[in-house]
Amino acid sequence: MDNSHPVVQPSGRVYLMIAILVFGAANSVTRRLTDLGAANVINGENPISFCNVLFVGNVCALGLLTLIYRQQLRPAMLRQISTKQWMSLTVIAILSAAVVPTLIFTALSITSVNNVILIGQIDTPLVLALSVLLLGDRVNPWVIAGAVVSFIGVALTVLLQPPGAEMMQMTGGFQLGRGEFLTLLAAVFKAVSNLISRVSLKAIPLGIFNVYRMLVGTIVFFVIVLVLFEPSHFMDVTSPFLWRWMLLYSAVIVVGGQLAWFTGLKQSTASEISLAAAFTPIVGVLAAYLILGEVPTFAQYVGGAVIIIGILLNQIGVQRLNKTTLTPPPPPAVMSEKVLYKGV
């Protein structure tokens, strides 16, 4: 008599929530690692600086992704991608794997993690506006209301900030923190990357997209640092202490999170994917509290509460749209651009 039981496979929603937990904690884990490096200086320098985290983290993630997706990297599959697709993929890689992480990492070094998480939510209304204006996406009043309310929440998070040392004088006497400005800029570039990916990446295999994106991002970031600074900026990049932490960071935060995300995409509906992504800011704020002990400020409480209301309104709209039309989930390469920050 066979008493064996069938193995129960986790649902797509389980994988999506694992990914959101990982992505939501990425900012706080990055800050914690740099603090760890500051407590273990080498020749007076922090071996786990934001610069080293991004560069070495990318290199480690590139190696792991190449190993995982090696079957898709065959010359025959690479030749199937057109020149126009390679050009689009290159632009997306530069924006999402070099420019956006550089802006986010710099912002994390001069402002709170919660500011980066909440202000980065302006990415959602930006993507919606661009999609409606340029791609003719169909929306309803609930989705529009959610975008407007989320935008107001981000604005409140910025406007209610107390004056700080890293403030920039804007036009009309308006002051904006430099970290907050860099986060807003990262969200704009991410929205543009998202739009290009929706138009150009529908037929590109996920493995090729991920590996090429990471390769180009690593090279571009290395060149940017050499041009803006000097080779000595990477002086501690060979530290075994740094590489040990970056291998763990890349395996769990970057590769583990992405694998869980893409596994969830294959088994979930468009509504489930949208709902899971909506939890990212909530998870991020909780992670900042649990990992860093970062308590939200008055501005973050007010702005965050309004942003959550906006997310709820948006979800009502998305659910109603999906009831009237059967919307298949976008291709995995396109959905890779949905989350603002995934570690590197």
Looking at residue 291, its pLDDT comes to 93
- With residue 144 as reference, give the H or E element that holds it: helix 141-159
pLDDT tens column, 211-241: 998 899 899 988 888 887 776 667 778 888 8
How far is residue 117 CA from its own chain's centroid? 10
pLDDT of 51 reads 82
- CA-based nearest residue to 213, from 225, 230, 199, 201: 201
- The two tokens of residue 253 are 């935060």
- Listed in sequence order, the residues at least 6 apart from 228 whose beta carbon sits closer than 8 Å to its beta carbon are none
Residues (pLDDT < 50) of the chain are 1, 7-8
Q: Which pair of tokens denotes residue 85?
A: 């697709």
Residue 170 corresponds to which tokens in the numbers above?
């804007």
Q: Tell me what pLDDT residue 271 has.
A: 72
Q: 127 with 194: CB under 8 angstroms?
A: yes
CA distance 294 to 103: 21
pTM of the model as a whole:
0.85
pLDDT recorded at residue 145: 93
Question: What pLDDT does 43 receive?
Answer: 79
pLDDT per position as a tens digit, 185-215:
999 998 888 888 888 777 788 888 889 988 9
Give residue 151's pLDDT.
92
- Which H/E stretch holds residue 16? helix 12-38
pLDDT at position 172 is 60
Q: How many CB atoms lie within 10 A of CB 248?
A: 12
